[in-house]
Amino acid sequence: MGKFHSINSVLIVDFNSTAPLYSYYLAKGFKDLGWKAEILGQYRPNYFLTKQERMTHVGFSIGSKLISYVLNWVYLIAQAKKHDIIIVQWLQLLKFTNIEIELVRILKKRNSSTYYIVHNLLPHNNKSAKIRHRYNKLYSVCDNLLVHTKDAKKIFEKLFDRQKNVLQIQHGYFYEEFNERPTTHKKKTFLIVGHISRYKGIEDAIKANAIVKSKGLDLELVIKGKGDSEYVDELLELSDNLGVNNNTHIEMKFVGTKQLLGLYATSFCSVLPYRKIEQSGVVFTSLGLAVPVVCYDVGGFSEIIRDKVNGRLVEPNNIEALAEAITWVYNHQNSKIDQINNEYRGGRWKNTSSIVIKDWRKNKL
What span, in angstroms and rounded, lies between the C-alpha atoms of 70 and 179? 38
pLDDT at 10 over 70: yes
pTM of the model: 0.88
Task: Flag whether 2 is in a domain.
Answer: no
CA 217 to chain centre: 32
Q: What is the pLDDT of residues 131-149, one digit of tens each?
A: 999 999 999 999 999 999 8
Residues 40 and 127 grouped into a single domain: yes
Residues 32 and 168 grouped into a single domain: yes
pLDDT the model gives residue 127: 78
Task: Flag whether 3 is in a domain.
Answer: no
Q: Do 348 and 173 meet the contact criterion of CB atoms below 8 Å apart? A: yes
How many structural domains is the chain composed of? Answer: 2
pLDDT the model gives residue 212: 97
pLDDT, greater one: 65 or 360: 360
CATH number of the domain where residue 199 is located: 3.40.50.2000
312-316's contacts with Cβ under 8 Å and 24+ in sequence apart are: 314/273, 316/275
Q: What count of residues does the chain have?
A: 365
Q: How confident is the model at residue 200 (pLDDT cuts 50, 70, 90)?
A: very high
Q: How confident is the model at residue 48 (pLDDT cuts 50, 70, 90)?
A: confident
H helices of the chain, in order, are 20-32, 65-79, 99-110, 129-141, 150-159, 202-214, 229-241, 257-265, 281-288, 319-331, 333-343, 348-364
pLDDT the model gives residue 345: 60
Task: Flag whether 221 is in a domain.
Answer: yes
189-193 β-sheet, strand order: 248-251, 220-224, 189-193, 267-272, 293-296, 311-314
Task: Flag whether 253 is in a domain.
Answer: yes
Q: How confident is the model at residue 298 (pLDDT cuts 50, 70, 90)?
A: very high
| CA distances from residue 289 to 49, 223, 270 in whole angstroms, order as listed | 15, 18, 11
pLDDT, average across residues 319-340: 87
pLDDT the model gives residue 104: 97
Containing domain of residue 145, as a range?
A: 9-172+346-360
Task: Flag whether 211 is in a domain.
Answer: yes
CB atoms under 10 Å from CB of 49, counted, come to 13
Q: What is the pLDDT of residues 257-287, one digit of tens each?
A: 999 999 999 999 999 999 988 888 999 999 9
Poorest-pLDDT segment among 12-16, 32-36, 149-153: 149-153
Least Cα distance to 12 among 3, 30, 4, 1 occurs for: 30
Residues 189 and 334 grouped into a single domain: yes
Task: Flag whether 365 is in a domain.
Answer: no
DSSP 28: H
Largest Cα–Cα separation, the chain:
65
